[in-house]
Amino acid sequence: MPRSRQRASTEPVRAREVLEVETSLLEGFTFHCRPDCGLCCFTTPAVAPGERARLVQIEPSFPLLEPAEEAPEEVLPVIAARPNGGACHFLEGNRCRVHAARPFPCRTFPLHVTLGQRVQATVVLSCPGVECGDLSRWGRARGRSTGTGPAPLAPATGLEGELRAVREELLRPETVDRLARTSARWAGVLRRVRRTTGEEDLGALMERISRNPPRPGSADLPIEPPPSEEARLEELPLTFLPSRGVVALRGAMHGWEVLAMRADGEEPHVLAVYPDPAEVPRTTPEGTRLLQGYLSYVARRDVFLSLALARWADDPVEAPTVGEIAEAMLRDLALQALGRAQVLARLRGRPADPLGPEEVEEGVRAIDMDFLDQAALGESL
């Protein structure tokens, strides 16, 4: 059985099983954190009780936001961020003041780990420390250990510490119980899909889609804009540009705004406004290959199937098949990546029509974190 895609099973994982993490989607990537970045620290990381005690030793009264009273028991408090969409309280000059005691989400980034029917790790491509290399290889390669496919991939490098932190977390009984719950939920939806749409092996279906991802066309327009001016600054999609630092995108009355974000909590300022992309942005052949490679990569992620299942489960009577939902999701994702790529290319004075691979990669980086942040049927670790 290929490690890159297991057959989607209707049997839930039993509680107290020893958990393995599936890592084939890390292959071929290298990671080295950039000292000038700080993108992943524009957040409010959750803090477990043991981690809180270690942080208190460093700074006895650091700002911790407790969950709302009505929140489920398992919701953890978070470290406060600075105002105006600024960075985490502990970030100082792009360095974490509590690096050795940073909480779990910080110790595992740029890994994104999905608890579904199994535990799968994937790379957050928005992190500029992740060297994407040639993403288009994912349109062809199927992973080192499958024994098939034309392009075997090298093991990941630079992610050893992050993977160790994930494996430690998997030893906790609470995590095993969480996986048992998510996999039972997942197995239940799969049984309903089978009965309703007749789709049997969704793992194989995703593999087929990933080998030949759909192309977006004008029928898929308009491109979904970023959140509007009514959204809080903390909710805006962020990306890192080497020449500009962390920037956010915002939908405004006259087009898409690009904002320069300030880690220190000062008000961000608008760098530029561009008209909404009205057509499907064109790409060079290399740009097209890179985009297709990204879609192939996404379709191999368990979180992608999990999102498609969640959308199907929202309205199983009216919904199309899971396969149709998945293809529409990929076309939509492609359009959003291209829209963001075009705006960022204009900001940088780069060719915006057609978009080359470098510009498409920037669009991919600007969308991937948002894509992974969506609520799915499975949970993130």
> Can you tell me the distance from the alpha carbon of 122 to that of 367, in angstroms, rounded to the nearest whole number?
15
Q: Is residue 40 a contact point for ligand SF4 (CB under 6 A)?
A: yes
Are 10 and 200 within 8 A, CB to CB?
Answer: no
- Enumerate residues 6+ apart whose C-beta is below 8 A from 219: none
Length of the chain: 381
Pairing between β-strand 119-123 and β-strand 21-22 as defined by DSSP bridges: parallel
User: From the CB of 44, what's the least distance to ligand SF4, in Å?
Assistant: 8
State the number of binding residues for ligand SF4 (CB under 6 A). Answer: 22
**Span from 19-27, 40-48, 112-120, 366-374 in contact with ligand SF4 (CB under 6 A):** 40-48
Q: Match 């909480």 to its residue by tokens.
A: 103
Q: Is residue 178 a contact point for ligand SF4 (CB under 6 A)?
A: no
Q: Is residue 307 a contact point for ligand SF4 (CB under 6 A)?
A: no
Q: Is residue 90 a contact point for ligand SF4 (CB under 6 A)?
A: yes
Question: Using H for helix, E for strand and C for coil, what is the string for 254-278?
Answer: CEEEEEECCCCCCCCEEEEEECCCC
The CB density around residue 208, as the number of other CB atoms within 10 Å, is 11
Q: Is residue 125 a contact point for ligand SF4 (CB under 6 A)?
A: no
**Which residue from 63, 129, 188, 225 is in contact with ligand SF4, where contact means CB under 6 A?**
129
Q: Prior bond to 110 cis, omega within 30? A: yes
User: From the CB of 92, what's the least distance to ligand SF4, in Å?
Assistant: 8
Q: Is residue 165 a contact point for ligand SF4 (CB under 6 A)?
A: no
Residue closer to ligand SF4, measured from CB, 44 or 283: 44
Residue closer to ligand SF4, measured from CB, 63 or 188: 63
How far from chain centre, in Å, is Cα 156?
18
Q: Is residue 106 a contact point for ligand SF4 (CB under 6 A)?
A: yes
**Which residue from 26, 41, 111, 166 is in contact with ligand SF4, where contact means CB under 6 A?**
41
Q: Is residue 128 a contact point for ligand SF4 (CB under 6 A)?
A: yes
65, β-bridge pairs: 78
> Can you tell me the distance from the alpha carbon of 122 to that of 305, in angstroms, rounded to the nearest whole number?
14
* Residue 123 DSSP label: E
Q: Is residue 102 a contact point for ligand SF4 (CB under 6 A)?
A: yes
Binding site for ligand SF4 (CB under 6 A): 33-34, 37-41, 43, 45, 79, 88, 90-91, 96, 98, 102, 106, 109-110, 127-129
